[in-house]
Amino acid sequence: MTTICSNQQALNSPLAKKLSEDQCRKLYWACLEILERTGVQLFEQEAVDLLKKAGAHISDGNRVRIPAGLVEKAFATAPKKITLCDRNGKRVIQAGGHQSYFGTGSDCLNILDHRTGERRQAVLKDIEEGMKLCDALEHIDFVMSMFLPSDVPQETLDRYEMEAMLNYTTKPIIYVTTEFSGCMDAVKMAEIVAGGPDALAQNPVAACYINVTTGLRHNKEALQKLLYLSEKGLPFTYIPSAQGGVTAPITIASTMAVNNAGVLAGLVISQLKREGAPFIMPGWGGNMLDMRTTIQPYADPEKRGQAIDFAHFLGIPTFGLAGCSESKLVDEQAAAEAALTLFTDAIFGGNFVHDVGYLESGLCGSLPQLAICNEILSWLDAFMKGIEISDETLCLDLIDEIGPEGQYLDCRHTLDHFRERWYPNLFDRSSYDGWQAKGGKSLGERAVEDVDRILQEHKPEPLPKDIAKAVHKVTEDAESKI
């Protein structure tokens, strides 16, 4: 008997879109209009000179109006996929399209100490323990420093952060630096670990997170980092900050237009500096200032989805924001907002999704919250997978053999397939009596225990001693220059 069947199709994951192609096109045209008509201010002469040579109009010294053709040309050379490697050179992240990877954030001033329950300033040990935890958590794909250490010289704290990340995890790194010199030192450390500049460019173990003042004002340090990393062919994010109602109009559409005009300006500069420079754009859009609290919310629903759709329309990889909360505690609000934001970025297909484990609108971090987010990501990983509909999974012969009154507990088919289903680590599925027998603990209490267990038992792969010494010398040399 033949089994020919034409036109079969399968969905490998759920689908979601917030913007239509027509809406994306209209937003794109608005960005081009802003660049041509209003222009951007660039506080770095090399960037101005590159654009002037390419045909942009310059006025008032650094007011640059960029023709649409330069933007269109930049898309022809910008990579559609960004690769990051682990410390050993394995290419573990291939970010592009709808493939999502999740990691921590970088700059929390405070930590909610899981041992004491107290909120306090973060120290270097918190970064080291955070990296050790991330190294063990299966669904954390890349790391950022999580905290700003208060117990090291503040002029060189970014070197201490990079050194701790390289020492306490093998996972890919996204780093932030306060000054341009810190960016150069972070690259120097990464080159030492990778085996030199060419080896790092071929198999990058780290990418830089560049913050830009606004979509229309590009600060000197951001442009210096963009030009330096572009020339080296190293990946970076370029993230202008447009706040609706403050540095951009209040509506979501106009805030996105202003912000992404700045993104496209950065894209053009990067490709003029070096064609093929790996560029990552924001995966959230429509930021606002909460007019009741004057806080910039992290977990608000309105900025989610549309920026990812727009990036997919442009074909540029994204840097998303999820797994975060406005809550001050590891509580019901923290769990709900973390789950909702992770779900939206996963279902829309954000690429590099950071700030997992953030509390207090980005001012505080928590290791138990990060462990809870890892469990949520485990759930989402199972949810996002496609379902196999085949003769083996339908098992119609077995259904007929067992019949209406049978059971499947002792069937070979059950033994072969039951491990394919999802089983939680922190979420509890026990009966009430079983839950009580294990101590009747809340999710937060179980997460604290899980963090303590990992910190006690997990041993990250250490850097070779000579490499660790060379990396540390970069920090020492930076301090000697203060």
Same domain, 178 and 121: yes
User: Any idea what the Cα angle at residue 184 is, between residues 320 and 42, rounded to 5°?
Assistant: 65
> Closest by alpha carbon to 56, among 48, 66, 46?
66
Domain end marker among 356, 384, 412: 384
Inter-residue contact 361 to 298 (CB < 8 Å): yes
Same domain, 348 and 311: yes
Q: Give residues with Cβ within 8 angstroms of 172, minimum separation 6.
A: 84, 85, 86, 92, 93, 141, 142, 143, 205, 206, 207
Same domain, 312 and 340: yes
52 inside domain: no
- Alpha helix (H) ranges present in 210-331? 220-232, 252-273, 306-314
> Closest by alpha carbon to 131, among 341, 350, 357?
357
Strand, helix or coil for residue 240: strand
Same domain, 315 and 409: no
User: How many residues does this entry show for the chain?
Assistant: 482
C-alpha–C-alpha distance, residues 221 and 226, integer Å? 9
Domain end marker among 384, 401, 433: 384
Same domain, 410 and 351: no
94 inside domain: yes
pTM reported for the whole predicted model: 0.95
Same domain, 329 and 412: no
15 inside domain: no
Same domain, 137 and 170: yes
459 inside domain: no
178 inside domain: yes
Residue corresponding to tokens 């590099």: 352
191 inside domain: yes
Residues in the chain, pLDDT under 70: 1-3, 5
DSSP 114-142: TTT--EEE--HHHHHHHHHHHHH-TT--B
As for how many domains the chain has, the answer is 2
C-alpha–C-alpha distance, residues 478 and 192, integer Å? 16
Same domain, 157 and 188: yes
Amino acid (1-letter code) at residue 123: V
286 inside domain: yes
pLDDT value at position 101?
Answer: 97
**Long-range CB contacts (< 8 A, 24+ apart) of 20-24?**
21/313, 24/309, 24/310, 24/313, 24/314
Return the CATH number at 208: 3.20.20.480
Which H or E run contains 352?
strand 352-354
pLDDT value at position 1?
Answer: 52
327 inside domain: yes
402: containing domain: 391-420
Same domain, 400 and 351: no
Q: Can you name the residues that pair with 112 across neighbouring β-strands?
A: 119
pLDDT value at position 243?
Answer: 84
Same domain, 405 and 364: no
Same domain, 286 and 410: no
Domain end marker among 370, 405, 420: 420
DSSP letter at 35?
A: I
Same domain, 287 and 156: yes
Q: Can you name the residues that pair with 95 across neighbouring β-strands?
A: 82
Axis crossing angle, helix 465-480 with helix 157-168, rounded to the nearest 10? 170
